[in-house]
Chain A
Amino acid sequence: MAGSFLHRERTIAPPGYSRWLIPPAALCVHLCIGQAYAFSVFNLPMTKLIGITQSGPGDWKLTELGWIFSLAIFFLGASAAVFGRWVEEGGPRRAMFTAALCWAGGFLVSAIGVYLHQLWIIYLGYGVIGGTGLGIGYISPVSTLIRWFPDRPGMATGMAIMGFGGGAFIAAPLSVWLMARFSTSTHVGVAETFIVMGLIYLCFMMVGAAIVRVPPPGWAPANYTAPAQPKPLVTTQNVFVYDALKTPQFWLIWWILCLNVTAGIGVLGQASAMSQEMFRGQITAVAASGLVGLFSLFNMLGRFFWSSTSDYIGRKNTYFVFFALGTVLYALVPYAGAIHSVALFVLCYAVIFSMYGGGFATVPAYLRDMFGTRYVGAIHGLLLTAWSMAGIFGPVLVNYIREYNVTHGVAPAQAYNVTMYVMAGLLVIGFICNFFVRSVHERFHMRVVEAEAEVEAAPVFGSQ
């Protein structure tokens, strides 16, 4: 029964179905899994589960808790890469349903871990099971959105991926509120909060799975005609998921994403400390936390703005803007510190974070332009390993450079300058990678016979 509900044939849109129902379906999933960005709100309470008011003997340390998020991001990349083809061929509903079970299940298993005070159970719950839900959920609506919006694929995927950035805005205050409700003078209410959030996310994601539909065969939007002449750097062919790995384009885009994310993620975690040390006496700890919230907002809005813009100026040009403008802005941050201009600092960071988010949101459409719509979700899954890599490189690079500077006598206010120049250098390399992106050679295109065999094995709908 449940199997037939999840079957791809059951998700073919009936006549008159509005394609504008697909972005909210995708947002149902992405707003939930975007909670990952707000997981840090649990860190401090989880260091006081025994001591209650302060860390007691046997309480977990922040360094131990930090691995929960790292594991989740690692399993995001790994599961997106491993299950990409399964997601693509089984359809969005089965993928969203599975993601919901994994994501909510991760919370429930973690609640058991908190209750029993066994950290390995939380690593397994949130890190492994939840991380797998993150990966499957992240890629689940991508190709469906691209098929429904052949006229504006950047905007469509941007809306979903904007939800991933926005999930933290809901999760952070909700988590704090729930923990306050469940906490007493002798108990920290983390386990109960995990249970409630897991159940809320399960319901929310199931609504997305119920709404989502794939377009019927041959469907195209009203008043839309595919361009008679193929646009440069936009293919009308398809590349098989594992053949994409053999193309230089895949690896160039892999590095483009990795470098853009490394630069952004490296300073994202340091934004609060950096602003306080660069503007000592001007930016307090409380003001810095407000700034981080503001930057997160630009991260979210940038996802929609830049991916929508890419529909008009092209993906390659969008990434040229990210890398060229990003290089200038990263190099300007030390200058903003030198002249004590908080306004210039905030402006630079706001645009940097908008482009960090924009890099994530524009990449599915870039892949679609290069490799076609058939396996774009699965190829996107493979590409997310670049995110996992950047998640390790970025913070390590920033922390290492800062530590090196401070131990060599550089004042804390100037300790970030070298970091910013290194990040600007990474963006220059990204610019060069983007420069070398060309159309995929036709020897990698799926032949008609192959494409038909694939269709028989797993029906594809809505070829435009």
Chain B
Amino acid sequence: METNRQSKGSGNGVKLALAWGFVGIPLVWGIVQTLVNAIKAFQ
């Protein structure tokens, strides 16, 4: 029972990491690009 719960928990952890990475990486990339351009603009 405990092992089943643990495997469910770790399975959810992987899914969460994949799902948040899937949306988070492009978003962070876009924000970094914008900030780089903004900094260039002020130089």
Contact = CB atoms under 8 A, between A and B. Distances in A.
Contacts of B30: 166, 168-174
**DSSP majority for the B interface?**
helix
Given A169-B33, A170-B26, A290 B12 contact: no
Interface of A: 16-18, 20-21, 24-25, 27-28, 31, 163, 166, 168-174, 207, 211, 286-291, 293-294, 296-297
A28 B22 contact: yes
B3 interface: no
A288 B42 CA distance: 9
Interface in B1-20: 8, 12, 15-16, 19-20
Contacts of B41: 286-291, 293
A174 B29 CA distance: 10
Contacts of A163: 23, 27
A211 B19 contact: yes
| CB-CB nearest 7 A-B residue pairs | A290-B41, A169-B30, A170-B30, A290-B38, A24-B19, A27-B23, A173-B33
Given A21-B19, A25-B19, A211-B19, A290 B42 contact: yes
Given A16-B8, A207-B22, A293 B34 contact: yes
Contacts of B22: 24, 28, 207
B30 to A, nearest CB: 3
A27 B12 CA distance: 18
B26 to A, nearest CB: 5
Nearest to A38: B30
A24 B34 CA distance: 22
Given A290-B37, A290-B38, A293-B37, A18 B15 contact: yes
16 contacts: A18-B15, A18-B16, A21-B12, A27-B23, A163-B27, A169-B27, A171-B30, A172-B33, A173-B30, A173-B34, A289-B37, A289-B41, A290-B38, A290-B40, A297-B31, A297-B35
Interface of B: 8, 12, 15-16, 19-20, 22-24, 26-27, 29-31, 33-35, 37-42
A291 B23 CA distance: 25
B19 A297 contact: no
B31 to A, nearest CB: 5
Contacts of B42: 287, 290
Contacts of A24: 19-20, 22-24
A461 to B, nearest CB: 20
A21 B23 CA distance: 11
A170 B38 contact: no
Contacts of B20: 24
B15 A21 contact: yes
**DSSP majority for the A interface?**
helix
A294 B38 contact: yes
Contacts of B38: 290-291, 293-294
Contact of B27 (A16, A21, A31, A172): A31
A75 to B, nearest CB: 25
B11 to A, nearest CB: 8
A286 B35 CA distance: 13
A297 B16 CA distance: 25
Contacts of B33: 169, 172-173
Nearest to A20: B16
Contact of A170 (B8, B16, B29): B29
A207 B20 CA distance: 12
Contacts of B26: 31, 170
A290 B35 CA distance: 8
B31 A21 contact: no
Contacts of B29: 170
A294 B22 CA distance: 24
Nearest to A28: B23
B24 to A, nearest CB: 8
A364 B40 CA distance: 37
A187 B5 CA distance: 58
A17 B9 CA distance: 9
B8 to A, nearest CB: 4
Nearest to B9: A16
A298 B33 CA distance: 15
B12 to A, nearest CB: 5
Nearest to A162: B27
A370 to B, nearest CB: 30
Contact of A18 (B12, B31, B34, B35): B12
A92 to B, nearest CB: 15
A350 to B, nearest CB: 12
